Structure 1
Amino acid sequence: MSHPVLETRELTIRFGGHAAVDGVSAAFHAGTLTAIVGPNGAGKTTYFNLMSGQLAATAGRVLLDGVDVTGLGPAARARRGMGRAFQLTNLFPNLSVLENVRLAVQARAGGGGDLLSLWSRRRDWIEIAERVLESVNLANARHTPAAALSHGDKRKLDVAIMMALEPHVLMFDEPTAGMSVDEVPVILDLIHALKAEGTRTILLVEHKMDVVRSLADRIVVLHNGRLVADGEPAEVIASPIVQEAYLGMPARTTVQDLASPALERAHG
């Protein structure tokens, strides 16, 4: 197997005497989508925050493309190719949808100076931003202020901003949270398309097991900050200890039982 694109080694963070993430070691490779699951309070989002630099580790290391980035902040990790979409969107609420994405395109291109001046001259940035908006079905809202979007459209815009940065590591933290049934397939189709490219390393925190089943090549299970299971989806989901203790499902539940009819309709 190729060298991992993203790796954590004994990654740990303590708040007082509590280890929210406790010695987690895992390696993630290009062309794979890994779902990180577990009960509330298991440490999933905290683990994401450690990998992307929003939190500083108490111990352990994060390696990106074989380089130790443990001491780097989120902006430096983003410049090295790590992209993150959050549970709570991080948008410029008073700027239009197009301007939000265009700023990300400009940042990726290294456009310095006043990001809000003379940008209309850079038609290339605008054209890239418009293509990204097309991919998430937000082209018709390009001139709408971000603050005026529905919750689901704000989530889509957050993903669009991440895509505009052209990362090779994509981290989705509950991308369908708060979305209506009609909105969910757009995000799932987008993640499917990104996965189909076969070149990106994709990590997904998700509570909905039908989504996990549809997307994941691998499942990592956290509980009380520790990694307790790691493997192919059918094997992990079928494990009685995972079903009962970590996913809150009865042990008799089968993999087939996890399929959501709505998801099946969305993906054939």
Structure 2
Amino acid sequence: MANAVALLRTEALSVRFGGEVAVDGVSAAFYPGTLTAIVGPNGAGKTTFFNLISGQIRASAGEVWLKGERITRLSVPQRARRGLGRAFQLTNLFPGLSVFENVRLAVQAEARRDFRLLSLASEHRDLNARSADLLETVGLRARAGAPASALSHGDQRKLEVALLLAGRPDVFMFDEPTAGMSVDEVPPVLDLIAAIKRDREKAILLVEHKMDVIRALADRVIVLHQGRLVADGVPEAVMALAVVQEAYLGSTGSEG
């Protein structure tokens, strides 16, 4: 990656909660065309690191840069408008709205238009068409009229991917996208992430515990342990390191 320009990077990123250091001076760069898996034992700081990047938590020290712009002090919506898209461990949907309405709101936000209460649908054909296309992409067009709350967990994750795609981000952040899914629900979501990965202009960050998912998708693995970055490299080499074997491979479950 010596000649590549990072889409996203952190410099000595840290956060303290009281006297505890949850993320401790993490510097990392994330490149277009690369899916980076972020792994580590429970409490290693993975989700906290994600929260610092996406703006849910304010850093105690260090910087976050996106496409060469320092975004450390920007809000979550400001970061999203600049090209940072994040999916959470728990789906972040409007459960009372239909599947189509959820996507249309995201498409509208990206287009920066407001629907007038009494406006004609014909005025918004382009937004409606893009919403339908996104539902087709994630395999939910047949469920467009269903309330989001009626979807299975796997389909809710697909809908969240559609919302991410609506924002046209340059960086996709997935926090344990297969958590809580049945065996049958996992492959379609992984296929969607793999499809995003084929866009060589995008960078993907993935927090994941499942080794088979990491082996299938990751170009690179970074390991956090006690808030510090302790390893960074190709999956085969990183997973063979003693520090990773000791700190990670015996752990299961999700991080708090």
TM bucket normalised to smaller = over 0.9
Unaligned runs of 5+ in 1: 250-268
Task: Say if 2:119 is the partner of 1:118.
Answer: yes
Q: Distance in 1 between matches of 2:51 and 2:135?
A: 26
Displacement of 1:147 after TM fit?
1.3
Aligned pairs for 1:45-56 (under 5 A) are 45-56=47-58
Task: Say if 2:182 is the partner of 1:180.
Answer: yes
- Which one is further off, 236-245 or 137-146? 236-245
Residue-by-residue CA offset, 1:206-248 (whole Å, 9 max, x unaligned): 0001100110010000011110110111100111221122222
Which secondary structure state, in structure 2, belongs to the residue aligned with residue 227 of structure 1? strand
Q: Distance in 1 between matches of 2:125 and 2:188?
A: 27
Aligned pairs for 1:101-180 (under 5 A) are 101-112=103-114, 118=119, 120-121=121-122, 122-180=124-182
Q: Distance in 2 between matches of 1:31 and 1:68?
A: 22
| Cα pair distance change 1:85/1:139, threshold 3 Å | same
Q: Distance in 1 between matches of 2:109 and 2:121?
A: 15
Tell me the residue number matched to 1:3. 5
Paired amino acid for 1:241: V
Aligned equivalent of 1:22, options 8, 21, 24: 24
TM-score of the two chains, using structure 2 as the length reference: 0.94
Tell me the residue number matched to 2:240. 238
Task: Say if 2:185 is the partner of 1:200.
Answer: no
Q: Distance in 1 between matches of 2:159 and 2:99?
A: 7
Tell me the residue number matched to 2:84. 82
Is contact 2:154-2:189 (8 Å) kept? Answer: no
Q: Distance in 1 between matches of 2:120 and 2:68?
A: 36
Residue-by-residue CA offset, 1:163-201 (whole Å, 9 max, x unaligned): 111101000111111111111111111111111121101
Tell me the residue number matched to 1:68. 70
Q: Distance in 1 between matches of 2:160 and 2:247?
A: 33
Q: Distance in 1 between matches of 2:40 and 2:9?
A: 20
Q: Distance in 1 between matches of 2:51 and 2:160?
A: 16
Is contact 2:40-2:247 (8 Å) kept? Answer: no
Displacement of 1:113 after TM fit?
6.0
Q: Distance in 2 between matches of 1:63 and 1:120?
A: 39
Q: Distance in 2 between matches of 1:10 and 1:179?
A: 35
Q: Distance in 1 between matches of 2:210 and 2:201?
A: 25
Name the structure, 1 or 2, with higher relative contact order (CA <8 Å, separation 6+).
2
Q: Distance in 1 between matches of 2:12 and 2:65?
A: 12
- Which one is further off, 151-160 or 230-239? 151-160
Q: Distance in 1 between matches of 2:71 and 2:115?
A: 27
Q: Percent identity?
A: 62
Unaligned runs of 5+ in 2: 252-256
Displacement of 1:117 after TM fit?
5.4
Paired amino acid for 2:173: M
Is contact 2:134-2:166 (8 Å) kept? Answer: yes
Which secondary structure state, in structure 2, belongs to the residue aligned with residue 129 of structure 1? helix
**CA-based RMSD:** 1.3
